[in-house]
Chains A and B, each alone.
Chain A
Amino acid sequence: MAEVTFTLNGERTTVDAPLNMRFLDVLRVKKNLTGQKEGCGEGECGACAILLDGHIVNSCLLPLGSVSGRDVVTIEGFKQTERFRTIQEAFVHEGAVQCGICTPGMVIAAESLLRHNPRPTDEEIRIGLSGNLCRCTGYNMIVAAVKRATKRGEGLW
């Protein structure tokens, strides 16, 4: 057991847990932040994605010890932003949500992409989302949603 301090959704947080505890479990069990889902536990599906210092990371592969002193944003934190609302409206409008289990991770992937590339091409959007698996939509409606967010959210990123 060890105390690990980091910023979680804008607030300084200390967690007392084994250093090798999966950060996904820290979020879901210790912090009751269940917007991060476990789809594969192997870093393949992206349903557990979070932003770590502004970059997308699969929290199922992240040990608690690695987040010490770093900035973590989960879907619950990102939800408070104008960027989130823009992405959300675009996802609703384009019908990008079916079962919804991959969706928070897709939103995090979209944010991570747009933060570093505010005007991505279709190809760049596809690559930006390629670490997140969706079994329902066939992806095109999600790609369209991200495209719409870039247009509607002009200046936000």
Chain B
Amino acid sequence: MVKAALLKVSVILFALGGVLPVRAELKALDDEGLSAVEGKGLGLVFEDFVFEHTDDSSRGQIFRIEGIKSAYGASKGQDVVVAVNQLYIARSGSDYGGTLNPVNLGRLKNPFNIDVLDGDSIGVEDKAVLEIRAPQQHAPDGTRHKDMDFDGAPDPVYAEDGSPLRDVNGNIVLRDYNVASAGFDCFTGAAGGGLCDSRTASAAYENGERPDLGMKFSVKVGSHDADSLNIHAKAAVIDGTRLRVWGEGNKMVGEFHLNFYTPELMISTCEDGGASCGKALKFRNFLLELPLGNAHQPMAMNVNGSGNFVYEIKSIAQAAQDKFGVTPTQLPSALGWSGGGTRSAAQNKALWDWFNDYYQDPANRGNLYIGKLEVHDTGGVHDFGSSRIENLLIQYMKITSHDLMK
């Protein structure tokens, strides 16, 4: 036995002796080297998931947001206390957080994912990009007419004056909504009716993958009575949401695309601590597709020297100057504006292609859609119709916080 142990030790020593003379050097990976690394991603799926956190002093439950002070009027300088009465994520059909049943989040074949991407494949040259994303959407393979605004007829395309657009024969031109045969409608969950991949709860699959989520809170300023506010989203879908970050120069930059779809987003006010609720706003078929930053003009979050928060989406003109050395005043000639701004008229074809890609990519455009806005109060339901903001492109944005108390 002792002999065996000795033998083992000597083998290990020999092995170490053999390794040492190699003098293998650990070398720092530069950005270009790292960009070629493509790891397998990590998929995450929540099964039978319920989350709830409450503030209820009678049960010894406290969940409060404090440290905020009122900055205006007679209450200036007084403490603002936000008590989060309920924060929940549960199966759809929760009756605004009243009945919490388990839900699945993410699909096994399309989970939440954490991955390192080769930046070259997404327009960020020679960088490794960390991506955290929700389930992906399907690529469209067809179009369909839909009634998203609850007026009983397929939605038309609207002309500039707000009336439905008509073709040469006087027929109303109907709006084409993109669909994928393998996808599901982002609101109703109808198969083949949209680009989302998460499924609604059904008799055959009672969990579903579209959670109800909401937050009820009361806001108390100083010694004033608390105001109560509730926000609920039914069967919410965030498919296509993603965060990508990478390094640029000496700072961390990235892009955040938020997609949020719900058949009903409800905001209501209630008597504090009671069940009696007054006015409620209901946004039926609510869609938000908000891209913040992209490969052309990444966003940066930072803190400045005075300790204030700075959020910036790089100006597209500045991005062009950094990449091509073309100043904003040189842009008209470089892009051939005098010749109609076509590619053939442009002096700098690479710059023209870069701008063209920036303007043509639908992923850079934001959309906000409300199928129908209803106001519920004691007088009944008031219908404020449908509203739409489409193809919003952020060319530059900078937000800086300021401390009003100083």
Q: A and B from one assembly?
A: no
